[in-house]
Amino acid sequence: MKRSSVIVSEGLPFILIAGVLALLFAFLCSTVPAIFFFVVMLFVTWFFRNPERQAPDENAYAVSPADGKVIKIEEVSIAEPVRGKFKKMSIFMNVFNVHVNRIPCSGVIKMIRYKKGRFFSANLDKASSLNEQNAVLIETDRGKQIMTVQIAGLIARRIVCWISEGMRVGRGERFGLIRFGSRLDVYLPTEARILVKVGDKVRAGETPIGDLL
């Protein structure tokens, strides 16, 4: 699956609207609004950037699925969308982070579950259970289950997922994005060795977050 354009296509309508408004106000000699929408166009273009990334050589590592800051690490038991015990890591993405999400480890997509919800600030604990979200369950060739959950935030109200159930995916491959500030939760097997700590900055597709052993 190729999603290697410099700017993701989902951002083009926003860029176009801001650019048209900037040109319109410039034509009407309204300098301040023209400058404002030109700056908005530049910011939105930068927000939807889609840089290349290189995953580490060690295949046993799960890499971060998102750019951002690790805000919580805990062991949890969940009943849905899959039942079991996991080590859960929450990564908060602010509006300045790259928002393209990447596959943490190679395997097969066993399940995708979208759930409507609220739009609390993504850095709050209740966002994990109450906000709009999209869960992606991956099974590795060794039978380990890893789940990523895209969670919409206070501003973000549109989750994009480019993959489908049954697909084979590679570690570091792009699989979706969340627009304008959000959060991503990662569920690793309980035996995984966590390689980051709360407060660490991580990069999607590059930063090792867990050794699957």
Q: Which H, E and C letters describe 94-133, residue by residue?
A: CCCCCCEEECCCCEEEEEEEEECCECCCCCCCCHHHHECE
How far separated are the first and last CA of the chain, in Å rounded? 28
Q: Which amino acid is at 62?
A: A
182 is catalytic: yes
Contact call for residues 149 and 175 (beta carbons, < 8 A): no
Give exposure, 157-187, as e/b (b: 16+ Cβ within 10 Å).
eebbbbbeeebebebbbbbbbbbbbbbbbbb
Question: Of residues 64, 90, 128, 182, which has the active-site annotation?
Answer: 182
Contact call for residues 148 and 186 (beta carbons, < 8 A): yes
φ/ψ bin of 29: left (φ > 0), alpha (ψ from -120 to 50), beta (otherwise): left
Report the chain's C-alpha Rg in angstroms. Answer: 18
Contact call for residues 208 and 61 (beta carbons, < 8 A): yes
User: Would you name the residues annotated as active-site residues?
Assistant: 182
